[in-house]
A and B are shown apart, each in its own frame.
Chain A
């Protein structure tokens, strides 16, 4: 596609439920990032994928958070047993590689945990 696509754009869930957020990166981009943006806060790094290398999971806040990526395509971020503090915008970004490359961001998924 022309840009990074994220779905759903909005998700409302009840505390304790599991949610899956999807990201379709730009075709050809080997690097894929997930960030979390809480209200009034900066972007918090969650996880990074680069090609077939082991993902950098250093930003995941707890074991309730996990992510997968199939090759160099779609990625899914899963949050199990959601808590109210998980409410945030979850942003996906992709780039040709890590480091100096410009990140292309999706519009994000607004997650609200009631």
Chain B
């Protein structure tokens, strides 16, 4: 069965610093990969997704993620974090018609 691991439960970064959130997956087939963000009091919102092709994908709000098949990873990055980026971030994996499997999330705190 597929699984998603987000090794970091909580990360704190300074505003303006770079950010990388880790995601590793286990899946037998070629997966579809997603990053969602859950801001306080708001529903989950899709940041970006990877299906095929270019392994570096761009998303909203200046985020990007790189699919590395050899490492079974799909890490999320942002070059310069803004205070409004403080939220919970979820990596998710799916394939074919299977329902999306989500990781446990990484909570991002941003300090001045």
A contact set with B: CB distance below 8 Å: 3-4, 33, 35, 40-45, 48, 56, 59, 91, 93, 98-100, 102-103, 105-108
Contact = CB atoms under 8 A, between A and B. Distances in A.
Contact of B44 (A40, A56, A59, A105): A105
A41 B110 CA distance: 21
Contacts of B44: 43, 91, 93, 103, 105
B53 interface: no
Interface of B: 4, 6, 9, 32, 36, 41-46, 49, 51, 90, 92, 94, 96-97, 99-105
A75 to B, nearest CB: 15
A79 to B, nearest CB: 19
Closest 3 CB pairs of A and B: A43-B102, A42-B104, A105-B44
A4 B102 CA distance: 19
